[in-house]
Amino acid sequence: MDPKGKVALITGGARIGQVVAQALATRGCALSLIYRGSRDAAEQTASAARGVGVDAIVLRADATDEAQVAAAVTETAQKLGRLDILINMASIYVKTPNPGTKDWSLAMDSNAKSAFMFSIHAAPVMKSGGSGRIINISDWLVASGRPNYRDYAPYYMSKAAVSALTESLALDLAPDILVNAIAPGPILAPPDLTSEQNDRVIKATPLARWGGGDEIAKAVLFLIETEFVTGECIRVDGGRHLA
């Protein structure tokens, strides 16, 4: 699929999402940017997209609320005329020592259920247009079968659910819609990362650096443009899984 002239709905558009959105906009793809709390980032991204000549709208929706999800998909199609690409980037990453059921529900709803709901509401719109692409975000740990870090059980399980969802939807929505996932590794350093922590990440990554948001954007573009890859989860981790 050529993204030019298409419409992409992106959830969780801060940081890496902004880079992905700009990469699509520069290729002529209109954007529907869904936010819950990061309105300023979404508006900034929309403004940049309009600056390169494409339509962009900003919609507020709680990705864990099905009524709001359905409304966001409907409004996207109504305002932009179609929906071809869904990128489920909305996610939370929370350390949970001694997790309880609330931690489990929060992680599953925010990371997995949200992707499921956006996908099932977007799919009929995509099918009516003849084709579509759904791209989810998992995690390099899950793609590698390595929990690796203690106190992240709900997060890990929710991202494992995203990978399973990707495979299941790829089968159910074929041949009209291709469904894939990206499993990022060290892409952007957290703002509160210490120099010692940074050194550990670099040492553990064979390519010895943080990838940067552009690497995720490149993977997104590949999964949009391919015509014969579906049900895959692609690691973008600088070889971290090898160390």
Tokens for 60, please give them. 């507020």
Spatial contact of 134 and 179, defined as CB atoms under 8 Å apart: yes
Cα separation values, 94 from 56, 106, 205, 212, Å? 31, 10, 22, 21
Which of 44, 59, 53, 61 is CA-nearest to residue 24? Answer: 53
Give pLDDT, residue 198. Answer: 95
Per-residue pLDDT of the chain (243 residues; tens, 9 = 90+): 999 999 999 998 788 999 999 999 999 999 999 999 888 999 999 999 999 999 999 999 999 999 999 999 999 999 999 999 999 999 888 888 989 999 999 999 999 999 999 999 999 999 999 999 999 999 999 999 888 888 889 999 999 999 999 999 999 999 999 999 999 999 999 888 899 999 999 999 999 999 999 999 999 999 999 999 999 999 999 999 998
Distance (Å, whole) CA 138 – CA 162: 6
Distance CA 186, CA 195 (A): 15
Q: Determine the Cα–Cα distance for residues 173 and 36; give it in Å rounded to an integer.
A: 28
Please tell me which residue in 93, 149, 152, 155 is annotated as part of the active site.
155
Domains with residue ranges and CATH for the chain: 7-242 (3.40.50.720)
Taking residue 96's Cβ as centre, other Cβ atoms within 10 Å add up to 16
Please write the tens of the pLDDT for every residue from 234-243. Answer: 999 999 999 8
Q: 175: which 2 tokens?
A: 């041949």
Q: Mind giving me the DSSP string for the chain?
A: ---TT-EEEEES-STHHHHHHHHHHTTT-EEEEEESS-HHHHHHHHHHHHHTT--EEEEE--TT-HHHHHHHHHHHHHHHS---EEEE--------SS--HHHHHHHIIIIIIHHHHHHHHHHHHHHHHT-EEEEEE--HHHHHT---STT-HHHHHHHHHHHHHHHHHHHHHTTTEEEEEEEE-S-S--TT--HHHHHHHHHHSTT-S---HHHHHHHHHHHHH-SS--S-EEEESTTGGG-
Reply yes or no on whether 155 is catalytic.
Answer: yes
pLDDT tens digits, one per residue of 158-182: 999 999 999 999 999 999 999 999 9
* Rounded-to-integer distance, Cα 86 and Cα 135, Å: 6
